Amino acid sequence: MSGPNKNRSIFFVAAGVLLASVLAVHNPSTPDASAAPPCGTPRGGPCPTTTTTTTPTSSTTTTTTVPPTPQCISPQDCLSQLTLDEKIGQMTQANHLALDSNQDIADYHLGSLLAGGGGAPSTGNTPQDWADMVDTYQAVALSGRLGIPIIFGVDAVHGHSNVYGTTIFPHNLGLGATRNPALAQQIGEVTAKEVYATGIPWTFSPCLCVARDERWGRTYESFGEDPEIAAMMTTYIDGLQGADLSAQNTVLATAKHWVGDGGTVGGDDQGDTVLSEADLRAIHVAPFVDAIARGVGSVMPSYSSWNGEKLHGQQYLLTDVLKTELGFDGFVISDWAAIDQLPGDYNSDVRVSINAGIDMVMVPNNYQLFQDTLRTEIQAGNIPMARIDDAVTKILEAKFALGLFDQPFSDRTFIGDIGSPAHRAVARQAVRESLVLLENDGVLPLPKATGEILVAGANADDIGNQSGGWTISWQGSSGDTTIGTTILEAVQATVDPGTTVTYNERATGRITGDFGIVVVGEQPYAEGQGDDQHLGLSAGDTNAIDRVCSAMPCVVVLVSGRPMLIADLLPTTNAFVAAWLPGTEGEGVADVLFGDFDFTGTLPITWPRDMAQIPINVGDATYDPLFAYGHGLTYGP
């Protein structure tokens, strides 16, 4: 049932005008054999209506075009009226940037659109641009015969991270270091509020992968190496979905990536996880059990394989285990073009993945070919209609649960709260609690009142590096990519007015100061582009550490998506802090360095001595790391 409280109607007027324009320009007709009749015919349903209202306190008359009333009242009612091609459309998710024209949304009955990393609207990258774009697409969808809304999805993986000016939280590995489920839920709530305000009802998060090898480029998307942490942080799902998906400021969550993506041999992204079923269940399945118990609405399979078989074709894991044994009753969405990696031709890819249990396919580009292929396989009897009807029902159930049939357009009531001080305060707290003090010989906390503090390192004054991948673009980038406070700016704002803060990025020339802060680490990356067989700091980073730390007491702040090789550097430093990828709120780092708050974070992942130790995980028979899982110093006794 759809919820009565979903308030997406605030922009019905504007979206109605968009819908009227769409219908005036093009009378929809489907390009396939099961073409549905146009509106205004006995089977086509009513066309959009025009209502005229007069404001009681004014003589002004307003004419508004409103969306057609949906021609079905429940998932089962919709299913009973859908043609084969309309069912296929509901199972299709297209990249919005790949649309040949917006009218294809109606002509191909598309059930979903997505914006991948960097998939901002052509008009700009403000929250308003996103809401306008989604409403435009929704208006076209509603012009279809049954008026079934699309569900738009986005990778909001550490805040609404594609959109300029939003609140960017620490990536998951940092959140795992907090071991604070209540904070994770609060972060989910803030993220949902910012995503919802832009008209988007669905995010492809959280990632519940259990990272077992630091060489993996997606390590920072994991909450840690132990399933207990990932399970603990599934409260994030509660924050996203709330108690009622039909309420304001809620979005559908996606538990990903089912299952074992963090355990591939050699940390190879999209590689092969070679494990017994018992170990797969104990390590990698476990967090999903908690996610399902919390009612997660969708699940995304992994690109990776289990013992040589791609997850997107694994009927045993997708249907027998996930849906039947564990009782997952949402829908399964494929990853980006992931079915293309299955062995065989494209017909085989489609047939095997759908029969395995994929409900919606993130095509994402050639949606026409996908639909033609799926139709061919169904008509040939290779995919049972019962499997299609099951998939479509699950998708429709999610749309009704979100209230999209009642209120399909954006509700911008809280769009002004995006990136607000209150939201950034939550992110600042998350940064504070994520920091792990690896070593300290007494130099920390730093004094606010001193003669001079020297700040060095390439990551000291760079929001892009501080935020990492999946920030504004898929891979992320260095520089002023979005609004935030760098660690340097936070230090400058924290010290007493009489303290001089000098920034010398590369630690060149004359080195002076009473204390030094050297901020080093990785530059942004995402997925396989981040796979790394070395994990060493750059020559520039090590040079900055050597020059500053040989001249004065110093603290090194490591901004990275995983542990890096630092054993050789520790003898030259006085304190070493793992800051992970903290996001936009650098003040959280300064809060702790200068003693306004104590360190509380503990390692969610084992810190290796050298590459020869990798993979190394808590519980291994041989376990002698540089810093153990759970390590973390404090200022207290």
pLDDT digits (tens, 9 = 90+) for 271-321: 999 999 999 999 999 999 999 999 999 999 999 999 999 999 999 999 999
Rounded to the nearest integer, the mean pLDDT of the chain is 92
Helix (H) / strand (E) containing 60:
none
On the 0-12 / 13-18 / 19+ scale of CB atoms within 10 A, 188 is buried
In tens, the pLDDT along 626-637 reads 999 999 999 987
* pLDDT for the residue 234: 99
CB atoms within 10 A of CB 613: 18
| pLDDT above 60 (res 34) | no
In tens, the pLDDT along 491-521 reads 999 999 999 999 999 999 999 999 999 999 9
Q: And the tokens for 625?
A: 């790391």
Strands 92-95 and 112-115, how do they pair? parallel
Q: If you average pLDDT over residues 137-141, what whole number do you get?
A: 98
| pLDDT above 90 (res 149) | yes
ω before 284 within 30° of 0 (cis)?
no
Q: And the tokens for 81?
A: 């009226």
* pLDDT for the residue 68: 61
Closest CA to 174 of 220, 141, 240, 106: 220
In the chain, what percentage of residues exceed pLDDT 90?
Answer: 89
Q: Catalogue the active-site residues.
A: 335, 527
b/e burial code for range 72-85 (CB count within 10 A of at least 16 → b): beebeebbeebbbb
Tell me the chain's radius of gyration from C-alpha atoms.
26
| pLDDT above 90 (res 108) | yes
Dihedral angle, C-alpha 270, 331, 349, 369, nearest 10 °: -110
Closest CA to 129 of 106, 176, 98, 96: 96
Confidence category of residue 109, pLDDT binned at 50, 70, 90: very high
Confidence category of residue 11, pLDDT binned at 50, 70, 90: very low
ω before 149 within 30° of 0 (cis)?
no
80 or 16, greater pLDDT: 80
Confidence category of residue 69, pLDDT binned at 50, 70, 90: confident
Scan for tokens 């609404």, then name that residue: 160
| pLDDT above 80 (res 354) | yes
* pLDDT for the residue 636: 85
Cα angle at 603 between 599 and 604, to 5 degrees?
Answer: 130
Task: Name the amino acid, one letter, at 551.
Answer: A
Interatomic CA distance for residues 236 and 363, integer angstroms: 27
| pLDDT above 50 (res 55) | no
Closest CA to 336 of 583, 84, 97, 32: 97
In tens, the pLDDT along 221-254 reads 999 999 999 999 999 999 999 999 999 999 999 9
Question: For residues 139 and 101, is the Cβ–Cβ distance under 8 A?
Answer: no
Interatomic CA distance for residues 217 and 462, integer angstroms: 21
Interatomic CA distance for residues 454 and 503, integer angstroms: 6
Confidence category of residue 95, pLDDT binned at 50, 70, 90: very high
Question: For residues 515 and 446, is the Cβ–Cβ distance under 8 A?
Answer: yes
In tens, the pLDDT along 421-439 reads 999 999 999 999 999 999 9
Q: If you average pLDDT over residues 128-154, what whole number do you get?
A: 98
Confidence category of residue 66, pLDDT binned at 50, 70, 90: low
Dihedral angle, C-alpha 265, 270, 274, 276, nearest 10 °: 140
**439 - beta bridge partners?**
576
Interatomic CA distance for residues 328 and 285, integer angstroms: 13
Strands 49-54 and 61-66, how do they pair? antiparallel
Confidence category of residue 490, pLDDT binned at 50, 70, 90: very high
* pLDDT for the residue 177: 99
**328 - beta bridge partners?**
none
| pLDDT above 70 (res 53) | no
ω before 343 within 30° of 0 (cis)?
no
Q: Which domains does the chain have, with CATH numbers?
A: 9-416 (3.20.20.300), 435-613 (3.40.50.1700)
| pLDDT above 60 (res 211) | yes
SS3 266: helix
| DSSP string covering 489-517 | HHHHHHS-TT-EEEE-TT--S----SEEE
Scan for tokens 């802060």, then name that residue: 517
Q: And the tokens for 375?
A: 């139709």
